[in-house]
Amino acid sequence: MQKLVHTDLLSLEQYARQRADLRARAIAHKRARSVHLGPHLTLLFEDRTTVQYQVQEMLRIERIFEPEAIEEELGAYNPLIPDGSNLKATLLIEYPDIDERRRALENLRGIEHQIELLVGDSAAVIALADEDLPRSNDAKTSAVHFLRFELSPAQIAAWRGGARIGVRVRHPFYAAEVTLDAAQRASLGADLDH
- 57 and 140 in a single domain? The answer is no
The string of DSSP letters for 34-68 reads EEEETTTEEEEEE-HHHHHHHHHHHHHHHT--SHH
CB hemisphere CA count around 18 (13 angstroms): 13
What is the structure's pLDDT at 182? Answer: 96
What is the structure's pLDDT at 32? Answer: 94
What is the structure's pLDDT at 132? Answer: 75
* Cβ–Cβ < 8 Å for 108, 171: yes
- 21 and 88 in a single domain? The answer is no
* Cβ–Cβ < 8 Å for 22, 49: no
- 73 and 98 in a single domain? The answer is no
- 114 and 131 in a single domain? The answer is yes
- 71 and 38 in a single domain? The answer is no
pTM flag (> 0.85): yes
What is the structure's pLDDT at 134? Answer: 74
* Cβ–Cβ < 8 Å for 92, 41: yes
Query: Could you report the per-residue pLDDT of 39-86, keeping only the tens digit for each?
Result: 999 999 999 999 999 999 999 999 989 999 999 999 889 999 999 999
- 147 and 52 in a single domain? The answer is no
- 183 and 169 in a single domain? The answer is yes
What percent of the chain has a predicted confidence (pLDDT) above 90?
89
- 189 and 122 in a single domain? The answer is yes
Cα–Cα distance for residue pair 133/51, rounded to 1 Å: 19
- 41 and 58 in a single domain? The answer is no
Whole-angstrom CA distances from 163 to 37, 115, 120, 188, 192 are 20, 19, 5, 14, 14
What is the structure's pLDDT at 138? Answer: 84
Domain boundary among 58, 81, 104: 81
Type of residue at 132: D
- 75 and 90 in a single domain? The answer is no
Tens of each residue's pLDDT in the chain, 194 residues: 789 999 999 999 999 999 999 999 999 999 999 999 999 999 999 999 999 999 999 999 999 899 999 999 998 899 999 999 999 999 999 999 999 999 999 999 999 999 999 999 999 999 999 877 778 788 899 999 999 999 999 999 999 999 999 999 999 999 999 999 999 999 999 999 75
What CATH number is attached to the domain comprising 173?
Answer: 2.60.40
What is the structure's pLDDT at 112? Answer: 95
How many domains does the structure of the chain reveal? Answer: 2
- 126 and 175 in a single domain? The answer is yes
Q: What are the b/e assignments for 131-163, b being 16+ CB within 10 Å?
A: eeeebbeeebbbeebbbbbebeeebbebbeeeb
- 176 and 98 in a single domain? The answer is yes
Nearest alpha-carbon partner for 93 in 108, 113, 73, 114: 108
Domain that holds residue 75: 1-31+48-81
